[in-house]
Amino acid sequence: MDLVLGSLGLDCGTRCCSLDSTEAKSKDTMAAFQLLFPLLASCVAASSPPSRHLPPCQVVQMDVFCSNLSLRSAPVNLPRGVQMLDLSRNQVQNLTRETLAYHTGFHHLNLHSNKIHFIQPGLFKDMTDLKVLDLSRNHLNVFSLSKINIGPLTAVESLDLSSNGLYTGMSDYFLADSPSLANLSLNSNSITKIAQNTFSGALSLTKISLHNNVILEIEDGAFDSLDRLTELDLSKNSITCITDFNLCNLKVLNLSKNSMELFQSTRSTDLYKLLRLDLSENKMLYFPLLPRKNMLEYLDVSRNQLQSINVTGNPEKNTNVFLNDLRYLDMSYNQLKSIPESFFYCMGSLEVLNVSNNCIGSFSITDERLLQTVKIINLSYNSLQSLTFGENALQSLEKLFLQGNDLTTLDHQIFQRLPSIKHLQLQQNNLEICALDQNHRGPPDCVSFSSIPNLQFLYLSENNLRTLPANAFANTPLKLLDLSLNPGLDMDKDSLSGLEYSLVHLLLRENNISSLNTDLSSLRSLKDVDLSTNHLTILPMWIKESSIESLNLQNNNLVTLEYSTMLALEHSLKTLYMGSNPLSCCSNLGFLHMVQHSAVVVPDIETVTCVHEEYSEPVNIEKVTQEMCHRSGIHNYIIVVVVIALLVMILLGLLVRCCHTRKRKHNRSFSA
Ligand SMILES: *[C@@H]1O[C@H](CO)[C@@H](O)[C@H](O)[C@H]1NC(C)=O
Ligand SMILES: *[C@@H]1O[C@H](CO)[C@@H](O)[C@H](O)[C@H]1NC(C)=O
Ligand SMILES: *[C@@H]1O[C@H](CO)[C@@H](O)[C@H](O)[C@H]1NC(C)=O
Ligand SMILES: *[C@@H]1O[C@H](CO)[C@@H](O)[C@H](O)[C@H]1NC(C)=O
Ligand SMILES: *[C@@H]1O[C@H](CO)[C@@H](O)[C@H](O)[C@H]1NC(C)=O
Ligand SMILES: *[C@@H]1O[C@H](CO)[C@@H](O)[C@H](O)[C@H]1NC(C)=O
Question: 57 and 46, same structural domain?
Answer: no
Question: 58 and 42, same structural domain?
Answer: no
Helix, strand, coil proportions of the chain in percent (round to 5)?
20, 20, 65
What is the band of 640 on the pLDDT scale with cuts at 50, 70, 90? low
How many residues can be counted in the chain?
A: 672
Nearest to 255 by CA among 221, 223, 229, 279: 279
Average pLDDT taken over every residue of the chain? 85
Helix (H, G, I), strand (E, B) or coil at 499: coil
pLDDT tens, residue by residue, 109-163: 999 999 999 999 999 999 999 999 999 999 999 999 999 999 899 999 999 999 9
Question: 23 and 104, same structural domain?
Answer: no
Check residue 335 and give its pLDDT: 97
Question: 18 and 64, same structural domain?
Answer: no
Question: 115 and 18, same structural domain?
Answer: no
> Which residues span the domain enclosing 526?
514-624
37-41, 94-98, 186-190, 558-562: least confidently modelled range: 37-41
Which residues lie closer than 8 Å to 394 by C-beta, 6 or more apart? 365, 371, 372, 374, 377, 418
Check residue 642 and give its pLDDT: 60
Question: 186 and 65, same structural domain?
Answer: yes
CA distance 130 to 109: 8
Q: Is residue 444 part of a domain?
A: no
Which of the ligands is closest to the CA of residue 162?
2
Check residue 635 and give its pLDDT: 56
pLDDT tens, residue by residue, 78-123: 888 899 999 999 999 999 999 999 999 999 999 999 999 999 999 9
Torsion of CA 538, 540, 546, 548, to 10 degrees: -90
554 lines ligand 3 (CB under 6 A): no
The angle at the Cα of 296, spanning 181 to 279, to the nearest 5 degrees, equals 75
Count of domains observed in the chain: 3
Q: Is residue 328 part of a domain?
A: no
Give the N- to C-terminal CA distance of the chain in Å, as an integer.
128
Question: 192 and 119, same structural domain?
Answer: yes
Of 543 and 616, more confident: 616
Whether the Cβ atoms of residue 619 and residue 592 lie closer than 8 Å to each other: no
pLDDT tens, residue by residue, 15-69: 222 222 233 333 333 333 333 333 333 333 333 333 332 358 999 889 999 999 9
Instruction: State the closest ligand 5 atom to the C-alpha of 333, by its place in the atom list counted from 1.
Output: 5
Check residue 445 and give its pLDDT: 80
Instruction: State the closest ligand 5 atom to the C-alpha of 354, by its place in the atom list counted from 1.
Output: 2
pTM score, whole prediction? 0.82
- Kindly give the distance from the C-alpha atom of residue 94 to the centroid of ligand 1, in angstroms, as a whole number: 6
459 lines ligand 5 (CB under 6 A): no
Q: Is residue 637 part of a domain?
A: no
489, 512, 536, 538: residue to mutate for ligand 6 pocket, most atoms within 8 A of CB = 512
Amino acid (1-letter code) at residue 492: D
Question: 529 and 615, same structural domain?
Answer: yes
DSSP state of 243: E
302, 332, 457, 480: residue to mutate for ligand 5 pocket, most atoms within 8 A of CB = 332
Please count the helices (runs of H) and the strands (runs of E) in the chain.
Answer: 7, 37
How far is residue 35 CA from its own chain's centroid? 50
Question: 146 and 46, same structural domain?
Answer: no
Q: Is residue 486 part of a domain?
A: no
112 lines ligand 3 (CB under 6 A): no
CA distance 429 to 482: 13
Of 535 and 440, more confident: 535
Nearest to 336 by CA among 372, 298, 388, 286: 286
Question: 82 and 141, same structural domain?
Answer: yes
What is the band of 672 on the pLDDT scale with cuts at 50, 70, 90? very low
pLDDT tens, residue by residue, 463-489: 999 999 999 999 999 999 999 999 999
Check residue 362 and give its pLDDT: 96
Question: 612 and 539, same structural domain?
Answer: yes
Ligand 2 cavity residues, CB under 6 Å: 134, 158, 160, 183, 185, 207
350-364, 488-502, 616-630, 651-665: least confidently modelled range: 651-665
CA distance 288 to 334: 14
Amino acid (1-letter code) at residue 100: L
Helix (H, G, I), strand (E, B) or coil at 629: helix
Q: Is residue 339 part of a domain?
A: no
Q: Of 205, 238, 262, which marks where a domain is finished?
A: 205
Question: 64 and 201, same structural domain?
Answer: yes
Q: Is residue 550 part of a domain?
A: yes
pLDDT tens, residue by residue, 278-287: 999 999 999 9
- Kindly give the distance from the C-alpha atom of residue 119 to the centroid of ligand 1, in angstroms, as a whole number: 10
CA distance 161 to 138: 8
Q: Is residue 225 part of a domain?
A: no
Where in 495-538 does DSSP place strands (E)? 505-507, 528-530
380 lines ligand 5 (CB under 6 A): yes
354 lines ligand 5 (CB under 6 A): yes
Q: Of 205, 232, 262, which marks where a domain is finished?
A: 205
Whether the Cβ atoms of residue 166 and residue 142 lie closer than 8 Å to each other: no
Q: Of 187, 205, 223, which marks where a domain is finished?
A: 205
Check residue 28 and give its pLDDT: 39
CATH at residue 167: 3.80.10.10
In this structure, the residue with its CA closest to atom 1 of ligand 6 is: 512
Check residue 561 and give its pLDDT: 86
Radius of gyration, alpha carbons of the chain: 40
Q: Is residue 67 part of a domain?
A: yes
